Structure formats: structure tokens, C-alpha cells
Chains A and B, each alone.
Chain A
Amino acid sequence: MKSLLAPGHRGCAGCCDAMAAKFALMGAGEDCIVINPTGCLEVMTTPYPETAWDVPWVHSLFENAAAVGSGVEAALKALGKADKAKVLVMGGDGATLDIGMRSISGAFERGHDLTYVCIDNEAYMNTGVQRSGATPFNASTTTSPAGKVSFGNDRPKKNMPAIMVAHGAPYVATTSIGYPKDMINKVKKAVDIEGPTYVHAHAPCTTGWGFDTSKTVEVAKMAVQTGLWPLYEVEEGEVTKVRKIGKNIRPVEDYLKMQRRFKHLFTMEGGAEEIAKIQALANKNIEVYGL
């Protein structure tokens, strides 16, 4: 399958964003218009006068990509070109769960025919790994550092897919860059469904999470295999498909120990109890989704 993201971009070696964008474009195909809020993906792909995008692409601001997408979709309709291009918004977790929340909510409530792909690397990577609403429980970031009296981020991830389901979106899916075919197929399905559709892609960041550049896919797979990141599809409000882990299920410890951001859990007093709390989060997913 042809990549629509050109080489020469400034993503780190082993960049999860580049992979996610590449897979999303493979799913959407070349007849799409990409809207990309501010973030790593935007900065690394478009240092003026260059762009890595082989599809039409627009960046406006950090918090308004879904609104910009609404406008692109409305313009295509008004100009009689709605069948000429899919509208694909791709933003990071900060742009999606935090600062862009209002514009996404509005775009989905209005029912624009667009697909929003959240590339979730669980912190503000572009500005240096600060905590976002997607940062997982007990992860150490630069604004939720582990310290003598802290295990890091003290809140679990915001459940963004559930929020999008609550908007009545006809299609909501979670995916992971560790499973490229899953991601490509889900994005393809999403863009072909009329109305606002949402795909939330888990994307481990070598720089921000602290693992070797060669391990991006391996870490992504482990998140799924522990149950911490369940892969599922929700159509018209009903869970229609779940990727089963079955007996290959792994303890969360196997996932946590791969990453520097959780290192403190293995060195600090009380760390074991904290790991147990994370295991409980995974267990809940396993139960809820029948993983």
C-alpha cells in the first residue's frame, strides 16, 4: 500500500505519529483532505516551505481542528464537491481531549460528515512531555513528575471514546499503531460511514515514554495485550466488535517495565501497590469488554 506521507519529515526515529498518520492515510485513501491541529505531527511534517503530505492538508490552530473540518465539509457540500474528498481530522491527545474538546463536541453534535482520528501518545510531546487528559494513571511526565511524595499523574485517562459515543456518533473505534491493519481498516470503515466518526489510536512515543526507538510497535502491542488499551468498535451506540486477548493476556507489569515513565513504580516504596491499582484498571477493561 502506497504511503501518502513523504519521507524527510522531522519526526523522531521510531515516531508513532508518523506511523499513525501513514496508516490513517492508507485507510482514507488519496482523495481526502486532512485537517491537523498544532502538535508534533503538524510541526514535524510542515516546516515551511516543505510538507510531507501528499494529500491536501491544512493546519490552523491547536484547539479548532474539528471546527476547521466542519468548515471544509460544509464548503465541499456547498460547492458540490462532497463526493470528491473525505474529510479527515487528525490530532493528538492534547488537541483532542483537552484544548479542542469544545470544537469536537460541536462538530459531532452537528453531524458533519468527517472522520476524527485521535493519535493518543498520552501527553503533550511537542512541548516536552507535559501531562494531558490522556496521560495514564501514575505516569511520570514533566508536569506530573514522580517525586518523593508523588507517583506521577494521579488521575486515570479521560474516556474519550465513550464521550464520542455519547454524542451519538454512528461509528467510534479504538485502535493502536501496534496493529496497523486494524487501524487502516477502522479508518477506512470510518470514512465510508456517513456522519461524524471517531477513531482513537493508541500511539506509544519513544521520546516521551522512554523506550528504544525500535520498540514503538512492541510497546503498543503490549498495551493491548495487558488489557490497558482495549480495541473495540461501537456502531450506533452498541459495541459490535472487540479484539480478544484470551489466554495470551499479560500482566500490566510487562508493559510498565518497558517504559521510563513508569520506572519509579519499580523503585519507590509502595510501588507494588500502585502497580496493583493499574492492574485493576486493566482488569476492569478485561471484564467490561470481555477481552
Chain B
Amino acid sequence: MTILPGGVCEAGTTRVNKTGGWRTFKPVYDYDKCIKCKLCELLCPDSSINPRDDGFFEFDYDFCKGCGICANECPKSAIEMVLEEK
């Protein structure tokens, strides 16, 4: 790469920085309980919860830092935080 004048940056390029390694606990869905309310996707501070074609969601473990907000706020307790095994 070369530095552009003044160091302008191309949009969305933090995507090269996989923050998943920060995680201690990892969120896991219980799809039987999920009501597709989208709250988890909305709240995720790391934009790491993505919709699937079937209307359910999945975690992008490349980026999820394991904060647990999704699990804490899920109205149906459909997300469990489990210890990351490395």
C-alpha cells in the first residue's frame, strides 16, 4: 500500500482485523427458542450477527468479541454464552 494524500482510508477496512480472538465466552444460538425478533442483530456492538436466508441469525465468530449483550438481552433466552475452547 501507499499512503494517499492526508492518509484517507477506504470504507469499512477494519474488516481485515479479526477481533474474534478477543473472546473468552462465545454466544451460541438455541434456534428452537429463537423468535427471529432481530434484537440481537440490532444491539451487537460489533456488527457480528448476520441474518440467514431462513430468517434466523448466525454469529460471525471472526469478529464477535463475546461481550454477551445479545445473550443478556434476548427476550427468549435463546443465546447461551459458553466458554471458548482454544
Cβ of B83 under 8 Å from chain A? no
Cβ of A142 under 8 Å from chain B? no
B7 surroundings in chain A (CB, below 8 A): 48-49
CA distance A200 to B69 in the complex (A): 22
Output the nearest chain A residue to B81 by Cβ-Cβ distance: A214
Query: Could you give, for residues 150-170 of chain A, a 1 whenever the CB lies within 8 Å of some chain B CB and a 0 otherwise?
Result: 000000000000000000000
Cβ of A212 under 8 Å from chain B? yes
A215 surroundings in chain B (CB, below 8 A): 69, 72
Query: Could you give, for residues 13-37 of chain B, a 1 whenever the CB lies within 8 Å of some chain A CB and a 0 otherwise?
Result: 1111111001100000000000000
> Is the contact region of chain A dominated by helix, strand, or loop, or is it mixed?
loop
User: What class of interface size applies to chain B in its complex with A?
Assistant: 20 to 34
CA distance A89 to B1 in the complex (A): 30
CA distance A254 to B48 in the complex (A): 31
Task: Take A48-B9, A217-B72, A217-B73 as given contacts and tell me if A7 and B46 are in contact as well, using a CB distance cutoff of 8 Å.
Answer: yes
Min distance, Cβ A272 to any Cβ of chain B, angstroms: 29
Q: Does the CB pair A218–B72 fall under 8 Å? A: yes
Output the nearest chain A residue to B11 by Cβ-Cβ distance: A54
Q: Does the CB pair A49–B13 fall under 8 Å? A: yes
Q: Does the CB pair A22–B47 fall under 8 Å? A: yes
Cβ of A276 under 8 Å from chain B? no
Cβ of B5 under 8 Å from chain A? no
Output the nearest chain B residue to A20 by Cβ-Cβ distance: B45
Query: Could you give, for residues 54-91 of chain A, a 1 whenever the CB lies within 8 Å of some chain B CB and a 0 otherwise?
Result: 11000000000000000000000000000000000000
Chain B residues within 8 Å of A, Cβ to Cβ: 1, 3, 7, 9-19, 22-23, 42-43, 45-48, 60, 62-63, 65-69, 71-73, 81
